[in-house]
Amino acid sequence: MARVARQTLIDDPRVTAFGILVEANARLERVMAKSLSEEVDIPLVYLEVLLRIARSPDRQVAMGELAAQISLTSGGVTRLVDRMTQADLVSRTTSSADRRVSYLGLTTLGGATLERALRVHLADLDEHFVSRLSTQELSSLVKILDKLRAP
Amino acid sequence: MARVARQTLIDDPRVTAFGILVEANARLERVMAKSLSEEVDIPLVYLEVLLRIARSPDRQVAMGELAAQISLTSGGVTRLVDRMTQADLVSRTTSSADRRVSYLGLTTLGGATLERALRVHLADLDEHFVSRLSTQELSSLVKILDKLRAP
DNA sequence: TAAGATTGAGGTTTCAATCTTC
DNA sequence: GAAGATTGAAACCTCAATCTTA
């Protein structure tokens, strides 16, 4: 019957599974963002940017690469970096090899802010993420999610 | 040493684990959104709303409940529903029991759009989500993420 | 007074067009 | 012409204040 078929479509376990992923992610991001905003006075995306820079070779990232890593468009990253530059957290330097690309680095304040933010973030992760899972569950989760991450 | 400590903080496995969750989620949402936009001409959040309504008792949801489910503020939901009403996908009806609350239901077009969108969405899920995991991995993932979802 | 929803103001992101450099 | 980054316009969301009903 059509009605039964429609019901099945709506409650399809694949749809539900994806929904649970989205919900878990949204909830965690909300919690992390609130905490960072209150205790370090930066939005969550700032931490993501600072972290990507710190983890990059020579602690420098090209704008385009950063855009891909944090899932924003190039225009979005341009403005985001504008704000972070205004706040003296990052600084731009144009590449000497290819003057179209501009590299992003941490300022002194940016490095210090990253460290403060990471301590707050780790406490949040312990409270809302790690403590809810066993060691095995956490490693399974990472292993599985990693398969979903690559293009 | 300070330098070693900082390095460890940046590469802490808990931070990395959360980062992988965010990346996997972002990538999947991007893919799903692109596909829905191209093939059904609706944003991903429209599907989320249509689905929440269809899954609710009597196929009706209060605005506030919807806001909690899809992780938006009440103001955000008001405008989202405005747009969807404009597109004749949903309709508001004020509750007779409590005239402060307004319930959201599917229009005929909304129901048909939901069905079309779900078929596209399921194909995407198979291609980018389900096919990358074993049956066991998928069920593990759901079980683990479910623990991270509750408040 | 409190709860549910809406509105105005402000901030962030996307999309498309543009500018610069290769 | 193509790639990397930026800009203007528009879309969307949040926050706080407001309106309505309980």
Question: pLDDT, tens digit, for every residue of B95-138?
Answer: 999 999 999 999 999 999 999 999 999 999 999 999 999 999 99
Q: Angle of helix B44-55 relative to helix A13-39, nearest 10 degrees? A: 110
pLDDT tier at A151, thresholds 50, 70, 90: confident
Residue of chain B nearest A125, judged by CA positions: B14
| Chain C bases closer than 7 A to any CB of the protein | 3-9, 12-17, 20-22
Q: Does B5 contact chain A (CB < 8 Å)? A: no
User: A90, A49 in Cβ contact below 8 A?
Assistant: yes
Give residue B143's identity as a one-letter amino acid code.
K
Nearest-CA neighbor of A109 among A22, A10, A42, A29?
A: A42
Q: Do B24 and A122 touch (CB under 8 A)?
A: no
Given its phi and psi angles, is residue A84 left (phi above 0), alpha (psi -120 to 50 degrees) or beta? alpha
pTM for this prediction:
0.94
| Cβ–Cβ below 8 Å for A18 and B12 | no
pLDDT, position A136: 98
Q: Which residue has the tokens 């891909």?
A: A68
Strands (E), chain A: 60-62, 90-94, 102-106
Q: Is the CB of A75 under 7 A from strand C?
A: yes
Interhelix angle A44-55/A13-39, rounded to 10 degrees, is 90
**Residue B61's beta-bridge partner residues?**
B104
In chain A, residues 77 through 106 whose Cβ sits under 7 angstroms from any atom of nucleic acid strand D: 77-79, 81-82, 92, 100-102
Mean pLDDT score across all residues of chain A: 95
